[in-house]
Structure 1
């Protein structure tokens, strides 16, 4: 069973920002850790706000859905987190993330396997191109029905056809890596987050004009509002060869710029702004059951106090254009295998595993 639900093709790269001294970079911790302290310290109304935000987060029981047939956990204290950016072109919130037709057009546009090594001082994020052809394992939908295994299906079709638990299972099967946590951001909802923080600044190297997404930017620095940001992470026709690999680079750049902007906000000085940001963020968030509360998210964030988002290495899964269908890509070997092996062993990723034949390296 081959999925051809999208006519999209596939290209991308990382982005960095300069580190700042002391007061460790908090990234997501700013909206979680500091927020948690602010809300709990107030009591009364603060507790009501905390409960309100807590209820915004959607939880998915990944462990129950996957059972025992999974890779072994890392022999160290390292962690692996699957981050998905989901999207509904209808503009509606995803109704049911368990799978099947209930998602009503929602799909996964971005997938990152974030590896946090033992010691929590650095991290690497591996992007999986949405047009990668993979073998989807047998999975169970949210309604209890089974979806048979299938070869040569597009990676992003797994989310829309079966749901997030099957995406986790697919990643585990293709990589041999145990996914400890799952975190999903709804792009259609996160534009409210961007507006809440007053926009996100990005640097555009070349003009982008994409009629499909509506994005029209000249080369240079731009501060994007929520609507423009949504078009920015969706665009692909106006960059590079018009394939999906170019969009990966834009999405990586934007997510780092978003973290930078959140970090720069004076959240302690404005509880109202903090609540607006946190409300927008949590409404756009789906996690595994182990992270499905502000308390759990905050504890997880505190465990990563030493990780600097600005030094996170973002690389793309090495891929090559498929010989049968040049509009699709497949994992390139031995590079992809070497990459997953390094992560499984909590080791250093070889330079050869960071090069993708589909982009000329």
Structure 2
């Protein structure tokens, strides 16, 4: 295993697509949309007296050895790329959401690119039903997992865990992921409840028996159970595809970030501790973020980025001609997205202009 660079990236330098040389970056950048980390920045030094307690909550995953050296270059330009997964594992406390048939999968996947200067972020949602050429990888148990053509994206996590998910994203994008953060169902619910709920406005009714959600048009303060239902709702919005669900997730995450900033936990130590406790239990980060001190340094960049400075898109895809329940990337448009992020540039509007959308835009504001 190669040593990790001082930039805080996972693993060592690879031999993937090369970008221009970069100045060495700090370890401060944040993950915007994994709201679990947003609460950590609000306490600043005030969290010091509970570091030991909170450190005990963090269960990190060491994926460095599994990733190896065949990766995109470890380059520095002041930006940061993070793969965020929401796992649909049904084990433990999550078994209330159904039986675990076939193993855990990545129910939600986002590449978060924090631009140089820590004032803007671009987020690319990856539809779980996207058909990709999944590379071979080393799984959780150390065994080699064979690659597969036209595999659903979320099977990478199912068959090989976090390392295979990271390797698949890097193969798709040509961009090295600096960090990995996973958020689970139960932790997500508890975090929202500690926050006091998240206010959203719906412009159309949402009723989904599978996610146990029943909302009329109007403004709602969603508790943890309802919030989880919203970000998992699929059949009852837009065209019923995963693309519509992604639009709900993106709208919810923007509302979440704004609410975290407005909740005023700095003047309420009890609430701060409750939020920090829930946040550290909700996430599984990579092993370079396995302490509260490291997570705090990682999250501080979030303080300079408001929801209005987060540009969220979905990977440009079209419905698969062979199976309308699956999608495939639009090659030229997807290249525009990854090339822009690889050069720390905004994603051009032309990249997503002709992509399938799921038709759920504006259902949640």
Q: 2:40 aligns with which of 18, 23, 32?
A: 32
- Size of the aligned set, in residue pairs, is 322
- Asked if the contact 1:199/1:226 (under 8 Å) is kept, the reply is yes
Aligned to 1:176: 174
Q: Which runs of 5+ in 1 are unaligned?
A: 1-25, 41-45, 95-101
Aligned pairs for 1:246-285 (under 5 A) are 246-285=244-283
Report the alpha carbon displacement of residue 111 of structure 1 after superposing the two structures with TM.
Answer: 0.8
Q: Distance in 2 between matches of 1:262 and 1:144?
A: 39
Aligned to 1:357: 355
Is it true that 1:330 corresponds to 2:328 in the alignment? yes
**1:257-283 deviation line (CA, Å, top 9, x unaligned):** 122222112212211111111111111
Report the alpha carbon displacement of residue 333 of structure 1 after superposing the two structures with TM.
Answer: 2.2
Alpha-carbon spacing, 1:237–1:89, altered in 2? closer, same or farther (3 Å): farther
Aligned pairs for 1:66-145 (under 5 A) are 66-89=67-90, 92=93, 105-145=103-143
Say which SS state the counterpart of residue 313 (structure 2) adopts. strand
- Asked if the contact 2:38/2:302 (under 8 Å) is kept, the reply is no
Aligned to 1:62: 63
Report the alpha carbon displacement of residue 171 of structure 1 after superposing the two structures with TM.
Answer: 0.3
Q: Distance in 1 between matches of 2:140 and 2:201?
A: 41
Report the alpha carbon displacement of residue 139 of structure 1 after superposing the two structures with TM.
Answer: 1.0
Report the alpha carbon displacement of residue 349 of structure 1 after superposing the two structures with TM.
Answer: 2.2
Aligned to 1:228: 226
Report the alpha carbon displacement of residue 305 of structure 1 after superposing the two structures with TM.
Answer: 4.5
Name the TM-score, length of structure 2 as normaliser: 0.83
Say which SS state the counterpart of residue 191 (structure 2) adopts. helix
- Asked if the contact 1:321/1:327 (under 8 Å) is kept, the reply is yes
Aligned to 1:196: 194
Aligned to 2:161: 163
Report the alpha carbon displacement of residue 310 of structure 1 after superposing the two structures with TM.
Answer: 3.0
Structure with greater contact order relative to length (CA < 8 Å, sep ≥ 6): 1
Using the TM superposition, name which of 72-81 and 226-235 deviates more: 72-81
Alpha-carbon spacing, 1:344–1:30, altered in 2? closer, same or farther (3 Å): closer
Using the TM superposition, name which of 192-201 and 304-313 deviates more: 304-313
Aligned to 2:290: 292
Using the TM superposition, name which of 344-353 and 121-130 deviates more: 344-353
Alpha-carbon spacing, 1:349–1:307, altered in 2? closer, same or farther (3 Å): same
- Asked if the contact 2:36/2:191 (under 8 Å) is kept, the reply is no
Name the TM-score, length of structure 1 as normaliser: 0.83
Alpha-carbon spacing, 1:339–1:258, altered in 2? closer, same or farther (3 Å): same
Q: Distance in 1 between matches of 2:318 and 2:133?
A: 16
**1:127-169 deviation line (CA, Å, top 9, x unaligned):** 0111000111111112111111111111112112210111000
Q: What's the RMSD between the two structures over aligned residues? A: 2.2
- Asked if the contact 1:103/1:160 (under 8 Å) is kept, the reply is no
